[in-house]
Structure 1
Amino acid sequence: MAAVSSSPALGPGAEIRAPTAAVLIGGLLVSAALGLVVMPAFYVFADDAKARLVRLDPPRVRRARP
């Protein structure tokens, strides 16, 4: 939350702090989106793909040894 106060370009040294704050805020938003939306969606997709592959693979019948 400290970066939000630095993001408006006000005061001395703001030309350095404002872009840094913008990158920090953007990085936090992207990492939150990846962690809360993209990764769970990927796990659901991978689990569905695994279930499809298991259904396509017929069970193997073992032959009795003489």
Structure 2
Amino acid sequence: MTPEEWTYLAVLLFSIPIGFVFKRGVKQFGGAAVGLLLTLVTCNIHTLHSLVTILGTWVILRLSPR
């Protein structure tokens, strides 16, 4: 298997126990934390692109008239 396939498998296996934790009550902030952690682990420095995109979208939504 290639390193990318190992990473994909690890993310899938990591997601199974996390799903049981979320079923018991950890919701919004827990999901955001796990998502950020997975992004940092799998994308490293390229995570900055995602963060800039999120912040840019937030700014556009805040400045647009309703």
TM more than 0.5:
no
TM-score tier, shorter chain, comes to: 0.3 to 0.5
Give TM-score, length-normalised by structure 2. 0.37
Give TM-score, length-normalised by structure 1. 0.37
Relative to its length, the structure with more helix (as a share) is 2
Larger radius of gyration: 1
